[in-house]
Homo-oligomer: A and B are copies of this chain.
Amino acid sequence: MAENWATSESGHDLHLELTGTGGLRAGLMDALRDAIRVGRLRSGIRLPSSRALAADLGIARNTVADAYAELTAEGWLTARQGSGTRVAARAAVSGAAAGRPPRPGAPRLTHDLRPGRPDAAGFPRADWIAATRRALHAAPAEAFGPGDPAGRIELRRALAGYLARARGVHSDPDRIVVCSGAAQALQLLAAVRPGTFAVESRGLPHHRRLLARAGIRTVPLPVDAGGADPAGLSGSAADAVLLTPAHQFPTGGALLPERRAAVIDWARAGGGLVLEDDYDGEFRYDRQPVGALQGLDPGRVAYLGSASKSLSPGLRLGWMVLPPPLVPEVLAAKGSWEPTVSMLDQLVFAELLESGGYDRQIRRMRRGYRARRDQLTAALGARLPQLEVTGIAAGLHAVLELPPGTEELVLREGERAGLGLTGLGWFRHPEATCPERDGVVVGYGTPPDHGFTGAVTALCETVARGLSGPRDPERPERPEQRKNQVAQVNQVTQT
């Protein structure tokens, strides 16, 4: 038990560690901790006196004595009168406990055409840096304090102006609550409006999961080329409806005017809440963006937006524009999560909005995405002229319609080729009654510029290979139904 310092092999390592940057005492403490942790200094071992070690290491005795005292306070060492300083019994750690955890890995893709992601290279670095300089110099000191859970007033003011101007949203700073994105917005709204939510029969499974986890039951509304059909709302038990009116995700239609009216009528008649997920409303290519549904009745619609498509999903910066009575309820629910969005980013983003930098960014990204869309549709038209491409009037993705029974085959080919592709089936609500529809949702925002042409070529080849394989016998062709559907899609996306 009473081993002494000389029989341990730690001297050399200790000495090496002492050349670190944190000062002599800190370096010595680190070296001792490491030696104990990996077992080079075993439990119960007696350390040399501070005088002896100081002489060994050529440092002041006080430095060693202080390090011993600190490590004793931390529980690494024990110091007892007459017995000297020893390594404490519980300080050593087994190799297994100190090992590395497994890290969940993402598949390596040769080309990533999954939807929902913007072009990461499009982030306006120089504009953001300049806005950071201006915003941080201009900010009052309290901006670096705890912060308002509703968000910085500078940002809420700038957003109110921008959303009114660009999206037809009826807004003022007091109706806005800043959040980390649509996911947090849904969690908050689910918390204050528990019950049943009608959702689009094709939509983001992630959002449905979030709602389910919050105790919300979701019921599907049929989706066609004119967006979600609200006809079933009145007879349903829905307390709220979640829609993507500007550009249905993922099928791409804009909600028809009469359906917009019907949704508002339903909300007014029964006190229902409309959740408008305006995830890519700024990106419309062939005409001006369709204004937000929220403008029709700001007292019934909770409008959700974010900077995830226009700047970066890594910002975690989104916003809700709420019916006034919901504001205190949402803030109460949010309270327990504390403000979740960096006040600094809020100040910088406000500056970007006010200076016009954000409008420039939107225009720049819109030009880039439109060019990509045109390249994609031209290539598909040339290589796979028999297939329709729908949902292309807006956004960062398109739907490549496939003959019935071929979606799985195409996806399998994509997997083989390392192509990140998502089938339409993935978005389907499990209780959806609308007909199956084969297709892949092509996110054309995701690949980098230099890889885009390659990604489009790989897509065309993969789909062609998938279509040349054997069909799924369970899902025969339905030519009549198919034709109608496509005609309807074209009608809307081309107006």
CA distance A150 to B121 in the complex (A): 22
Residue of B nearest to A75 (CB): B260
Q: Does A102 contact B (CB under 8 A)?
A: yes
Q: Does A378 contact B (CB under 8 A)?
A: no
Chain B residues with CB below 8 A from A7, complex form: none
Residue of B nearest to A338 (CB): B183
Per-residue 0/1 for A104-132: is the Cβ within 8 Å of any B Cβ (1 yes, 0 no)? 10000000000001001111010011001
Q: Which of B29, B71, B73, B98 contacts A298 (CB 8 A)?
A: B98
Most B CB within 10 A of own CB, among A187, A312, A317: A312
Given A33-B168, A101-B174, A209-B336: A313 touches B183 (CB 8 Å cut-off)? no
Residue of B nearest to A72 (CB): B257
Q: What distance in Å separates the Cβ of A422 from its nearest Cβ neighbour in chain B?
A: 14
A residues contacting B by CB (< 8 A) are 20-22, 25-26, 29-30, 33, 37, 66, 70-76, 78, 88-91, 93-94, 96-104, 117, 120-123, 125, 128-129, 132-133, 136-137, 139, 141-147, 150, 164-166, 168, 170, 172, 174-175, 180-181, 183-184, 187, 209-210, 213, 254, 257-258, 260-261, 264-265, 268, 287-288, 290-293, 295-300, 311-317, 322-328, 331, 336-345, 448, 495
Tell whether, in the assembled complex, residue B128 and residue A344 are in contact, meaning their CB atoms are under 8 Å apart.
Answer: yes
CA distance A96 to B300 in the complex (A): 12
CA distance A339 to B291 in the complex (A): 30
Tell whether, in the assembled complex, residue B328 and residue A30 are in contact, meaning their CB atoms are under 8 Å apart.
Answer: no
CA distance A337 to B206 in the complex (A): 10
Chain B residues with CB below 8 A from A99, complex form: 324
Q: Which of B128, B264, B295 contacts A33 (CB 8 A)?
A: B295
Chain B residues with CB below 8 A from A174, complex form: 100-101, 103
CA distance A133 to B130 in the complex (A): 9
CA distance A99 to B180 in the complex (A): 26
Q: What distance in Å separates the Cβ of A264 from its nearest Cβ neighbour in chain B?
A: 5
Q: Which of B288, B314, B323, B327 contacts A70 (CB 8 A)?
A: B288
CA distance A187 to B166 in the complex (A): 37
- Nearest 9 CB-CB pairings of A with B: A97-B299, A314-B343, A101-B324, A75-B260, A123-B144, A101-B327, A120-B145, A144-B312, A120-B144
Tell whether, in the assembled complex, residue B146 and residue A117 are in contact, meaning their CB atoms are under 8 Å apart.
Answer: yes
Tell whether, in the assembled complex, residue A98 and residue B288 are in contact, meaning their CB atoms are under 8 Å apart.
Answer: no
Given contacts A99-B324, A102-B327, 4 further A-B contacts (CB under 8 A): A90-B261, A100-B175, A101-B326, A209-B336
Tell whether, in the assembled complex, residue A299 and residue B341 are in contact, meaning their CB atoms are under 8 Å apart.
Answer: no
Given A312-B144, A316-B340: A101 touches B260 (CB 8 Å cut-off)? no
Given A74-B260, A268-B90, A323-B97: A143 touches B120 (CB 8 Å cut-off)? yes
CA distance A55 to B33 in the complex (A): 84
Tell whether, in the assembled complex, residue B343 and residue A315 are in contact, meaning their CB atoms are under 8 Å apart.
Answer: yes
Chain B residues with CB below 8 A from A316, complex form: 338-343
Chain B residues with CB below 8 A from A325, complex form: 101
Residue of B nearest to A123 (CB): B144
